Amino acid sequence: APCSSGFLLLAALSLGQPCPVSCAETVSGCSFSSSVPESKRSRGNVGGLDISSFSIFRGEEKEATESLESKKDDDSVPVDQIVEEGSEQAVDSENEKEKAQKEEEEPGTWEETFKTHTDSKPNGPTSVGLDFSLPGFEHVYGIPEHAENLKLKNTEGGDPYRLYNLDVFQYELYNPMALYGSVPVLLAHNSQRTLGIFWLNAAETWVDISSNTAGKTLFGKMLDYIQGGGETPQTDIRWMSESGIIDVFLMLGPTAKDVFQQYTSLTGTQAFPPLFSLGYHQCRWNYNDEEDVRGVDAGFDEHDIPYDVLWLDIEHADGKRYFTWDPSKFPTPRDMLNNMASKRRKMVSIVDPHIKIDSNYRIHNEIRSKGFYVKTKDGGDYEGWCWPGSAGYPDFTNPAMRSWWASMFSYDQYEGSTENLFVWNDMNEPSVFNGPEVTMHKDAVHMDGWEHRDVHNLYGLYVQKATAEGQLLRSLGEERPFVLTRAFFAGSQRYGAVWTGDNSAEWDHLKISVPMCLSLGLVGISFCGADIGGFFKNPSTELLVRWYQMGAYQPFFRAHAHLDTTRREPWLFGEENKQLIRSVIRQRYALLPYWYTLFYHSYHTGEPVMRPLWVEFPDDTITFNIDDQFLVGSALLAHPVSEQGARGIQVYLPGNGEVWYDVHTHQRYMAPQTMYVPVTLNSIPVYQRGGSIVPRKDRIRRSSECMHVDPFTLYVALSPKGSAVGDLFVDDGHSFNFEKKNQFLHRNFSFFSGVLTSSSADPRGSFESPAWIERVVILGIGKPTSVSLEKADGGESALDFEYSMETSVLTIRKPAVNVAADWSISLR
């Protein structure tokens, strides 16, 4: 099996069906074959269960084999029982008497009723499951999406974590209930190693977690250690899916970054987003008309607040017929979009996957005539109720349907669209207002006879994939797409961004946005964020300001609100609050070079952009439970305030013998330590790690594109040894030319022995830019007597500088070297 190294592969243990998940769709760049013969894996055959098809790709063969053998003898993991139960579920279709008897003995086995809905289960009852024991681990993470702490809790005595994409109205917090997306990937971490389990199954899935340390206090664990007693910590994971096959990848690490690389080598890395999408997005349900759009856009200029994208929700379309515009509210969409483009700004319109059933609607007529709708169990087009009223649901599992959908984004098909219009896919769980649990019936039928139950969690991925391919198609493959999705699955990171859905204007929802985004990043989806201010209800001004401060340090930075909420443009809350919001948005724009460089790395390595502290400090056990602060890359630690009325917060600075610098005051702090930080409404505790160099742009303009050729400032934070390193990626910010034509710059910066050096990190790249280095700010250094610049041609010149004795900060002004040049600055 030609996969990347570092995997234990449990391949295709079949219970009567071939895998409905195509390797080409979810597992990219990887192929393997099961030892189960194709004839044994055909529909209706329950035989062919094979547990011999294990391959170990790197090391630990003995340990893994012993673990698997022990599971055969462990009552908690009855593998033989799985075979036995699979056999019991076999049905002789000609023996109606036996079927009737089973139904009598086990109500719901062959047909199940949920409220007013009936699941016919035409193929009978199925389920697959497998247990994993993780000796030595008591901290597990991942399996988003849940409104839950970062560290997953023990589910003994309660409900397991559920993975089943659903449109959930005002979701509960700290609850294992299913939400909008599902990624069946779990990570386990201790101070020696990190490993991962990828359960490749798109059906409804439950994950039970138990631990022999659950309920023990820290004091109890310490007592066990002192007395030399106590059990070795162990966490047990039980995966259960309604249908499909057992198809599992065990990612052996041993480091967290190894696991990220291993997982994304299977499912793909985060798409490299266009630069504008890392700026600020202004959205609500709904901006009313073209005049409203012009007014909001002008408001940002009037109040000198940068932003990049204005969003239009469902009311912009003609009767909620997607790919159209309301003729009275948006009669000249191309003029509106061109006006935005003249200011170097973009727009996003919503395109949902429920299609209004209307014989006068071209999109509906074409889908129906091509037979592209999902079918009922009886063979008719599946219809449900959603925003337009009665709606059909395109079968996005059909490649021909996806190709047709992609073609609808061409400029001649999506009338009024322009190159600065991008797309938002909502309601793609799929949401069916009159369906069971507000989604599609499980016995609906997709291409080639697959039941919806088999592919449910893939539907949203396919919608986003087809939409992203549409944007690629319209630009002839030249421009990078931007698509936001609510529903997702393993691999969705390849197609754009995700947000955490319909949150509420409550302090607890602000807090939970951190672990929700961290969990997504751990499973490959780095481009994530939460609706600033909360979608439902009206936030207090304090909560709104704090949410902007939080959102500015999360990857996807968008304000959004419900139709029934009061307007929330940043200037509507008084001058003082406007200035606070303006200040934090400007902080975001100053850091865009750093964010963009981080996403470039994520695109290549799969490492999360927003990451838990334990990823960078894997042997610091204090970090294992922290989810109210986080790292942006490896250089910035953020602890935005999420407590109402807070006058101070506790901040933990990790790293034995390391130093951190307050990015606002430049004050230096030794680590590790937990410190009390007094805060006001203006405070955003953010710290730069000693030993790092962060590129910024401190000239803030009205959009990211306006700043593209502006000069850079380098913030050099010295380690205790007086050194620092960092890098910067620069290209045109929107196309694939960085890949197709090597049109890019990747620069390395290093500071050692009093010399700051700029050199090429990738000599393949070449890109002409007028951008230059405007300033260098060095934190934690003594005052030099002179500062000189040496260029690649040997020329040398003295540089002006200022030094603050109070903060030990050296500011070097106007080195005036091009960002693409090699140079060095020496301090004497």
Nearest CA to 272 among 630, 729, 662? 729
> What stretches of 705-794 adopt beta strand conformation (E)?
712-717, 724-730, 745-752, 755-760, 772-779, 787-791
Number of helices and strands (H, E) in the chain? 17, 42
Residue with tokens 């609850």: 175
Half-sphere exposure of 571 (CA within 13 A, CB side): 12
Strand partners, 437: none
CA distances, 216 to each of 176, 619, 746 (Å):
21, 21, 49
Say whether 564 is catalytic: no
Output the six-digit token pair for 827. 């301090």
> Which residue in 236, 247, 502, 628 is the catalytic one?
502
Helices (H), 606-696: 613-616
Q: Measured between alpha carbons, how far is 280 from 307 in angstroms, rounded to an integer?
A: 5
* Catalytic (active site) residue 822: no
**What gap in Å lies between CA 95 and CA 184, rounded to an integer?**
37
Contact assessment for residue 515 and residue 627, using Cβ atoms and an 8 Å cutoff: yes
Q: What is the dihedral of CA 445, 446, 449, 455, to 10 degrees?
A: -100
Comparing CA positions, the residue from 128, 11, 136 lying closest to residue 63 is 136
Burial environment of residue 795 by CB neighbours within 10 A (0 to 12, 13 to 18, 19 or more)? exposed
Residue 596: what are its φ and ψ, rounded to 5°?
A: -65, -40
Catalytic residue among 208, 313, 352, 426: 426
Alpha-carbon distance of 497 to 464, in angstroms, equals: 9
Beta strands, E only, 50-199: 54-56, 112-114, 117-119, 128-135, 139-142, 161-163, 185-189, 194-199
Whether the ω angle into residue 37 lies within 30 degrees of 0, i.e. cis, is no
List of E strands, 217-360: 234-241, 246-251, 280-282, 309-312, 346-350, 355-356
Query: Cβ neighbours of residue 58 under 8 Å, at least 6 residues apart?
Result: 5, 6, 7, 252
Q: Evaluate the CA torsion angle 389, 395, 397, 399 in order and state its sign.
A: negative
Number of Cβ within 10 Å of residue 238's Cβ equals 17
C-alpha closest to that of 323 among 415, 461, 218 = 415
β-sheet bridge partners, residue 818? 772
**697 vs 589: CA distance, rounded Å:** 8
Catalytic residue positions, numbered? 426, 502
